[in-house]
Structure 1
């Protein structure tokens, strides 16, 4: 069979146009999200910040805890009264009692309008994005994730799809929008400029229904891991801000304005944990499905190929993170660092192994 004849070039071109169009609309969504943060108004945020400072200081005693008076009996039978400072313990994110911020819009109608426009642009861009992925699949009559370009474009579509699904479920996650549109633009830009590969058929070993199962699970897992990583990274910044807040060291500047609009550190931590815990079983199945496919294609379940090895390392890292969350000494920032290390392993497994390491799964030379 003539492989070239099996490729529908018209559909392939439609796919490229749609992906580029999606990038343009994502750029509009990014600008609208940026306007939401910038023009959301600082007055209400500043008022809430003052209330948070007072509340946090009251809870932790940072506003000036009263000294403790102690009477000590002397050897000669008399007593001496001494004072010692009250002990102030560092509150964890879960027990500071600090409420969530007003959101990226800053609690203003103008900011909320920009936010709604941004979500509308994001939804339109996602429709174009998904259409581009579908036309790519139709151009070759197979799953649209047979190489790094296709994986990257589908990955971005799934990440945005999960974000829009959370919004449809009335989850307060619009704060992710600015970071998500920024990342998707970078992802698609890299895919089109560096990773692009023309529509073509795959090697015989990849012509299997496991391509639909194994790789689709990897894409979904990676997209949700990414959203969790965004939450984890923002948790670290917000946690640092709240510590400064309770100590009376928080500054009323643009950085403080951004931090005040985010959910509380406890909410961000909970969001990241739930997302990671939700998708970890799917990542486990992804590895198992890959092993079954390897046995069918190459006659071995596991050969410690670089891709297999780093998939397992990623699994161990996330398993360690989830176990750490159940251990009192590894909650909070320590567990967050471990979660970011685990996501870094996922990224290296994709970019590093595929491009720089030679193996059965590598895409060196793209």
Structure 2
């Protein structure tokens, strides 16, 4: 079918606008990260002081001195909602707007080409980044990690910039080898898994920084105290990996079935197949070590970081440098 050039142009415009909105969101969230830390630290000290006063039997500040009475419990004072937090909320709102524009760019690309919008590297990276953004929005609703959002948006913006410049491909029908319903199933699973894996990768890197600071306060003294506690970062990394790993496994199995239908064998140790298998083994080792050996510290975080590195290596180096049966990058 002919390509709808008008919708394709609208898709490119939405993509570019989404990147610009993500950058603005990142700037606002960096403002909160930089100037909101003092407020969070001050509130934490106030809460600790209130606990100490109540725990020692002293009356709360502002209460009457009645030694014979047990002082009432003191509610923890909320963190001050200053200008920095308003910037953070604006940044999240812009991030949601960017995600909607991002989604519009993907949908318009698919409608313009009358196919699923992940037939080349440009579209694949667009979809992976969208999944990563949506995953982080879900994580933010469940954990107090909003001030880390700029560090998640940074790799997203870099990937989208690379995709929109060096890897951009004009809207067109997919190659004959990809004209299969397995493109919908296999690649969609790979996109979801890769996008979600970005979140535990970033969380594990922050875990290692925070854990190093907790062991030696002189290390990362200016940055690490602003990070969440290690148990929060560990929980985010573990839960997102638990979600992504079965999807990744399903994608690998679907790829094997597609390979048998297209090439007459389930597995041929093609470069992309090999690196995907290595990444699968690494993530399986991470989950297995957490479940059996009880690894919840730096060792587990290192395994997750290595798995994320293998995923990124498979995305760029294998697709763009090596040659194999999966060489469908579509770079023009």
TM-score band, normalised by the shorter chain?
Answer: 0.7 to 0.9
- 1:339 maps to which residue? 304
The correspondence of residues 100-249 of structure 1 with structure 2, limited to 5 A, is 108-167=81-140, 169-245=141-217, 249=218
| Equivalent residues of 1:45, 1:257 under 8 A apart | no
Provide the aligned length of Structure 1 versus Structure 2.
303
Are residues 43 and 117 of structure 1, via their aligned partners in 2, closer, same or farther at CA, if it must alter by over 3 Å? closer
Q: CA deviation at 1:108?
A: 4.1
Q: Deviations over 1:271-327 (max 9, x none)?
A: 111211221111111100111111222222111111111111110111111122235
- 1:271 maps to which residue? 236
**CA distance in structure 2 between the aligned counterparts of 1:331 and 1:153, rounded to whole angstroms:** 33
**CA distance in structure 2 between the aligned counterparts of 1:123 and 1:13, rounded to whole angstroms:** 22
**CA distance in structure 2 between the aligned counterparts of 1:170 and 1:325, rounded to whole angstroms:** 21
Deviates more, 1:10-19 or 1:204-213: 204-213
- 2:267 maps to which residue? 302
Are residues 258 and 51 of structure 1, via their aligned partners in 2, closer, same or farther at CA, if it must alter by over 3 Å? farther
| Equivalent residues of 2:125, 2:159 under 8 A apart | yes
Q: CA deviation at 1:341?
A: 0.9
Q: CA deviation at 1:27?
A: 1.3
Are residues 207 and 280 of structure 1, via their aligned partners in 2, closer, same or farther at CA, if it must alter by over 3 Å? same
| Equivalent residues of 1:40, 1:108 under 8 A apart | no
**CA distance in structure 1 between the aligned counterparts of 2:241 and 2:132, rounded to whole angstroms:** 14
| Equivalent residues of 1:318, 1:342 under 8 A apart | yes
Matched, 1:38 2:34: yes
**CA distance in structure 1 between the aligned counterparts of 2:298 and 2:125, rounded to whole angstroms:** 30
Q: 1:6 pairs with 2, 8, 17, which one?
A: 2
Are residues 362 and 290 of structure 1, via their aligned partners in 2, closer, same or farther at CA, if it must alter by over 3 Å? same
Q: CA deviation at 1:165?
A: 2.8
**CA distance in structure 2 between the aligned counterparts of 1:262 and 1:222, rounded to whole angstroms:** 24
Are residues 357 and 338 of structure 1, via their aligned partners in 2, closer, same or farther at CA, if it must alter by over 3 Å? same
Q: CA deviation at 1:208?
A: 1.5
**CA distance in structure 2 between the aligned counterparts of 1:30 and 1:290, rounded to whole angstroms:** 36
Q: CA deviation at 1:363?
A: 4.0
Q: Which structure has the bigger radius of gyration?
A: 1
Are residues 271 and 37 of structure 1, via their aligned partners in 2, closer, same or farther at CA, if it must alter by over 3 Å? same
Are residues 12 and 244 of structure 1, via their aligned partners in 2, closer, same or farther at CA, if it must alter by over 3 Å? same
SS in 2 for 1:256: coil
Alignment gaps of 5+ in structure 1: 56-101
| Equivalent residues of 1:143, 1:212 under 8 A apart | yes
Deviates more, 1:31-40 or 1:230-239: 31-40
State the TM-score, normalizing by the size of structure 2. 0.84
Are residues 49 and 315 of structure 1, via their aligned partners in 2, closer, same or farther at CA, if it must alter by over 3 Å? farther
SS in 1 for 2:171: coil
**CA distance in structure 1 between the aligned counterparts of 2:272 and 2:80, rounded to whole angstroms:** 46
**CA distance in structure 2 between the aligned counterparts of 1:173 and 1:187, rounded to whole angstroms:** 22
Q: Deviations over 1:166-223 (max 9, x none)?
A: 34x4443313311122122111110011101111111222111211111111111011
Alignment gaps of 5+ in structure 2: 52-76
- 2:225 maps to which residue? 260
CA RMSD in angstroms comes to 2.4
State the TM-score, normalizing by the size of structure 1. 0.77
- 1:20 maps to which residue? 16
**CA distance in structure 1 between the aligned counterparts of 2:174 and 2:165, rounded to whole angstroms:** 21
SS in 2 for 1:312: helix
